[in-house]
Amino acid sequence: MAKRGQVMVRWSAVAEAVQSQDGFDRPGFDGKRAQNRFTLLLEGHRHKDEEGKRASGTDEGYGEKFQLLDDLLSAFDDWKNEEKVRLEEVQQEPDRVDAMAATIRDEAMKSLGKRKKAGQDDGEAGSGGGSAMTKMMKMMHDDSKADLEFRMRVYDSDLKEREIIREKEFEDRRCERELRAEQLRFQHEQLRVQHEMMMKLLSTLGQSQ
């Protein structure tokens, strides 16, 4: 799958490749429309596949086209599962940081206790090893916190980008529906006019005989 920020670049390349095919005549076909068509195609194939299996009780035989759709659907589902795992990891990060801090704190206390038992002065232990361990704990905690904040910002940015894409896709689908409806109305009007002309012609021919 494409890296963040490159998704629409890849879809634009797909749209250009499709437009270069002979027989494809669809003005305004861009990356967003290519992505929208791809999603609708996969979801439609998913529903047809499930309905076919329920109706027959067995897997239906597929041609080359349906085998390709199966492969694409499998890859798409794998990607969605990876995104789900990534989200879960981000959500679990605070617990991981807290657990790591607790482990470091326990190890520091154990190390400090061993030094005391070895005969070190309490003041030396507190100002020496204990102080260094505390600084190390703080540095590691701050680093983990900064990493978590960065990952959360990246994830939030991804969510906003996807929301924008979904809104644009919805608007594209609405425009396409309106365009199809307008085309159907135009075709219907043409048929009506042709029918009227034919009836008038037949009427004229009938009167002339």
**pLDDT tens digits along 130-143:** 566 667 667 766 77
**pLDDT tens digits along 170-203:** 888 788 888 888 888 888 888 888 888 888 787 7
Contact 82, 52 (CB under 8 A): no
Q: Give me the mean pLDDT over the 144-169 stretch.
A: 78
Distance CA 209, CA 195 (A): 21
3 vs 172, residue with greater confidence:
172
Average pLDDT, the chain: 74
Query: What distances in angstroms separate CA 143 from CA 66, 83, 109, 119, 147, one per listed residue?
Result: 49, 24, 21, 34, 6
Contact 74, 54 (CB under 8 A): no
Q: Give me the mean pLDDT over the 75-89 stretch.
A: 82
Contact 148, 97 (CB under 8 A): yes
**pLDDT tens digits along 91-102:** 777 777 777 777
The pLDDT of residue 118 is 58
Q: Residue 127 above 50 pLDDT?
A: no
Highest mean pLDDT among 22-26, 39-43, 45-49, 151-155: 39-43
Inter-axis angle of helices 64-117 and 129-208, nearest 10: 170
Helix/strand/coil for 4:
coil
Distance CA 108, CA 85 (A): 33
The pLDDT of residue 126 is 47
